[in-house]
């Protein structure tokens, strides 16, 4: 269940603020309350739509909760990735954004897939945890549940680094990718300014040359003034068309806008994945603690008071643990929305 929140500000406004200006890219923001921004985003229409659609799909039952250690890829539902990769690649190729832009699109695709794997791991964690709790109560009540508990403990931790290697690998792509995109953006801007200056300089030279010729001809033949005046617009027009064929400032500006949007996207998606990664570590450590407690109880071989003490200890943190899992799941969906938002900006 989503937390009760007082704010209903737009998720699009939240992301628009993050992408607002070039000065937002430095890794330290001056006045951004990240926790408040995330909290406000959780009850927006975009977030609730993707949350509801995702939760229409059935979750695994406890008997299906075995998360395979090598499951680093996961079929990505269509609603989790927008726009499509093919349409973005076509637009990026047409705009001439360069290799860094194409790598950014590939990184966001990998990130979406990695988030889908993480969501599967979260479902498995929740399912295994509830099954362990059920068997612990049986064990504490004198039932023979040691074998079942041992089997679930042996399943391992779905949130381990090995199981989520795709997520961590994708997460590591963003710092160097941001540096490349930032440099590519600067390079395109420098080139556009240089071409624009060259065009202006060329126009001045042509006008000066024709004007000088007109003055000389005026001293020799008065009728040449009319010829020079007629030739000036035609000559400058042909020159402009030739320059447009050689290089287009507008084309460069369009490519620059896409690279600029990708740089902003790499920054904010990377930061979102930082947040998710920290939350994964927190839940992972709590799962490991709980597994260690149950494992210690099983090794002791006791059924009575020790088993009941283990149940009491784990139940003391039960609500907090469930909230951690829920919060992690929410932030993964928020990260997916951020990825889609950044991809749409590149597609414009």
pLDDT digits (tens, 9 = 90+) for 278-328: 999 999 999 999 999 888 888 877 666 777 888 888 888 888 999 999 999
**What pLDDT is attached to residue 5?**
38
Q: Please tell me whether residues 239 and 312 are part of one structural domain.
A: no
What is the number of structural domains in the chain?
A: 2
Half-sphere exposure of 133 (CA within 13 A, CB side): 18
Rounded Cα distance between 92 and 86, Å, is: 10
Rounded Cα distance between 233 and 240, Å, is: 10
Rounded Cα distance between 316 and 242, Å, is: 77
- pLDDT digits 0-9 by tens, 198-218: 666 665 555 545 445 434 433
Global confidence as pTM: 0.68
User: Tokens 């009491």 map to which residue?
Assistant: 312
Q: Please tell me whether residues 295 and 214 are part of one structural domain.
A: no
Q: 212 lies in which domain range? A: 191-249
Q: Please tell me whether residues 175 and 203 are part of one structural domain.
A: no
For the ranges 176-180, 189-193, 313-317, 320-324, the lowest mean pLDDT is seen at 189-193
| Domain contains 284 | yes
Rounded Cα distance between 202 and 241, Å, is: 13
Q: Which of 276, 51, 275 is CA-nearest to residue 159?
A: 276
Question: Could you give the percent of the chain with pLDDT greater than 90?
Answer: 28
| Domain contains 36 | no
Q: What's the mean pLDDT when you consider all of the chain?
A: 72
For the ranges 36-40, 117-121, 176-180, the lowest mean pLDDT is seen at 36-40
For the ranges 149-158, 175-184, 241-250, 290-299, the lowest mean pLDDT is seen at 241-250
Q: Please tell me whether residues 138 and 182 are part of one structural domain.
A: yes
Rounded average pLDDT over 231-244 = 50
Cβ-contact 158, 124 below 8 angstroms:
yes
Higher-pLDDT residue of 12 and 131 is 131
Q: Please tell me whether residues 233 and 342 are part of one structural domain.
A: no
Q: Is the peptide bond before 305 cis (omega within 30 degrees of 0)?
A: no
Higher-pLDDT residue of 214 and 145 is 145
**What pLDDT is attached to residue 137?**
80
Question: Could you give the percent of the chain with pLDDT greater than 70?
Answer: 57
Higher-pLDDT residue of 277 and 219 is 277
**What pLDDT is attached to residue 34?**
46
| Domain contains 52 | no
Higher-pLDDT residue of 228 and 140 is 140
Q: What are phi and psi of 6, to 5 degrees?
A: -90, -20
Cβ-contact 270, 178 below 8 angstroms:
yes
| Domain contains 12 | no
| DSSP-H helix ranges across 9-63 | 11-18, 34-41, 45-54
3-state secondary structure of 60: coil
Q: Which of 270, 340, 250 is CA-nearest to residue 25?
A: 270
Of 249, 272, 298, at which residue does a domain stop? Answer: 249
Of 201, 234, 249, at which residue does a domain stop? Answer: 249
Rounded Cα distance between 273 and 321, Å, is: 21
| pLDDT tier for residue 167 given thresholds of 50, 70 and 90 | very high
- pLDDT digits 0-9 by tens, 85-123: 777 777 777 666 678 888 999 999 999 999 999 999 999
Q: Please tell me whether residues 230 and 268 are part of one structural domain.
A: no
**What pLDDT is attached to residue 71?**
47
Axis crossing angle, helix 249-300 with helix 11-18, rounded to the nearest 10? 110
Q: Please tell me whether residues 290 and 331 are part of one structural domain.
A: yes
**What pLDDT is attached to residue 29?**
40
């Amino acid at each position: 269940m989503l937390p009760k929140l007082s704010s209903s500000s737009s998720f699009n406004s939240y992301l628009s603020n993050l992408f607002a200006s070039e000065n937002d890219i430095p890794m330290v923001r001056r006045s951004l309350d990240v926790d408040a921004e995330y909290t406000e985003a959780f009850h927006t229409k975009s977030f609730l739509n993707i949350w509801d659609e995702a939760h229409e799909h059935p979750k695994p039952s406890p008997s299906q909760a075995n998360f395979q250690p090598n499951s680093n890829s996961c079929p990505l539902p269509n609603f989790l990735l927008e726009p499509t990769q093919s349409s973005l690649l076509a637009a990026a190729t047409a705009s001439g954004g360069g290799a860094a832009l194409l790598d950014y699109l590939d990184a966001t695709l990998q990130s979406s897939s990695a988030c889908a794997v993480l969501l599967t791991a979260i479902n498995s964690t929740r399912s295994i945890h509830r099954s362990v709790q059920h068997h612990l109560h049986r064990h504490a009540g004198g039932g023979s549940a040691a074998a079942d508990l041992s089997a679930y403990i042996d399943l391992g931790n779905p949130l381990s680094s090995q199981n989520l290697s795709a997520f961590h690998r994708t997460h590591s792509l963003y710092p160097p990718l941001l540096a490349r995109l930032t440099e590519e953006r600067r390079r395109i801007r420098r080139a556009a300014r240089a071409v624009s200056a060259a065009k202006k300089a060329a126009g001045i030279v042509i006008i000066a040359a024709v004007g000088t010729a007109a003055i000389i001809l005026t001293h020799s033949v008065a009728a040449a003034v009319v010829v020079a005046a007629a030739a000036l617009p035609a000559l400058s027009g042909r020159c402009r068309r030739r320059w447009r064929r050689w290089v287009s400032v507008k084309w460069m500006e369009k490519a620059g806008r896409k690279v600029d949007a990708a740089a902003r996207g790499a920054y904010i998606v990377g930061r979102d994945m930082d947040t998710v990664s920290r939350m994964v570590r927190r839940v992972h450590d709590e799962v490991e603690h709980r597994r260690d407690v149950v494992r210690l109880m099983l090794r002791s071989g006791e059924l009575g008071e020790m088993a009941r003490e283990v149940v009491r200890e784990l139940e003391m943190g039960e609500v907090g643990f469930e909230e951690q899992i829920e919060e992690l799941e929410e932030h993964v969906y928020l990260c997916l929305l951020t990825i889609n938002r950044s991809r749409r900006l590149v597609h414009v």
